[in-house]
Amino acid sequence: MEPRGLKRKAEKTEVTEPQNKLPGAAPSLPTEPALYSGPFPFYRRPSELGCFSLDEQRRYHGDARALRYYSPPPTNGPGPNFDLRDGYPDRYHPRDEEVREGLDHLLRWLLEHRGQLEGHKLLKWWAQSFLPGVPNVVAGFRNPEGFVCSLKTFPTMEMFEHVRNDREGWNPSVCMNFCAAFLSFAQSTVVQDDPRLVHLFSWEPRGPVTVSVHRDAPYAFLPTWYVEAMTPDLPSPPRTPSPKD
């Protein structure tokens, strides 16, 4: 989801409509936390289906060559003294922000292993991608000079205990109930199987989740090679003549 486009000029706010928007009534999903304060919904911990790697040039490899393991320092020893600047100027390879990768690497892995994925419901699979079931989070605390001086491990299932008594804190039941409601909302809204059709879910603070439908919009994220591989009989979209034609 992403906020709607806004243009500000001379203290006047103008809401711009996304491109290629199709006409029709726009369904919405309310976001008031009180609506989702029921019991925690059923959630099955995910299991790993596979892995892939990206090298320094962000080239795809369908194996675990880039996998690294975290080995915590001794708990009774000195601080880790990690220098966050080490290697930054000479070994860091910044990502080319002009290259729009989207989900290309993940979709390539899916295409290579689609036989392995038969029987998995797409909705549940995507939900598990966003909720991967990581058991622990290791936080590093740094000083003003950029050195990590201490580490602390937060078990994922115990994080709520740190905010349980905070009246402004978050509630895992509300989060998961809203997640389940949103996925059901998306499932009931996106009913047409058309790779050229884009459903854009938007949200603004204190407002509901809304959805608009677009055709061939710039929000499309499925690459052509993936669509053609998954739907070999799909006719190609009409070619737009260039000025040189």
Q: What is the pLDDT of residues 80-123, one digit of tens each?
A: 888 888 888 888 888 888 888 888 898 888 888 776 554 444 33
What's the predicted TM-score (pTM) here?
0.49
- Asked if 195 contacts 201 with a C-beta cutoff of 8 angstroms, the reply is no
Instruction: Give the span between the Cα atoms of 195 and 103, in whole angstroms.
Output: 14
The closest alpha carbon to 124, from 220, 213, 227, 49, belongs to: 49
The closest alpha carbon to 223, from 102, 52, 51, 122, belongs to: 102
Instruction: Flag the least confident range among 6-15, 55-64, 144-153, 167-176.
Output: 6-15
The closest alpha carbon to 218, from 200, 193, 231, 204, belongs to: 200
- Asked if 220 contacts 18 with a C-beta cutoff of 8 angstroms, the reply is no
The number of angstroms, rounded, from the C-alpha of 116 to the middle of its chain's C-alpha atoms is 23
The tens digit of pLDDT for each residue in 188-216 reads 999 988 888 899 999 988 899 999 999 88
pLDDT band at 8 (very low <50, low <70, confident <90, very high): very low
Give the type of residue at 172. P
The tens digit of pLDDT for each residue in 150-193 reads 788 877 777 777 777 777 677 778 888 988 899 999 999 999 88
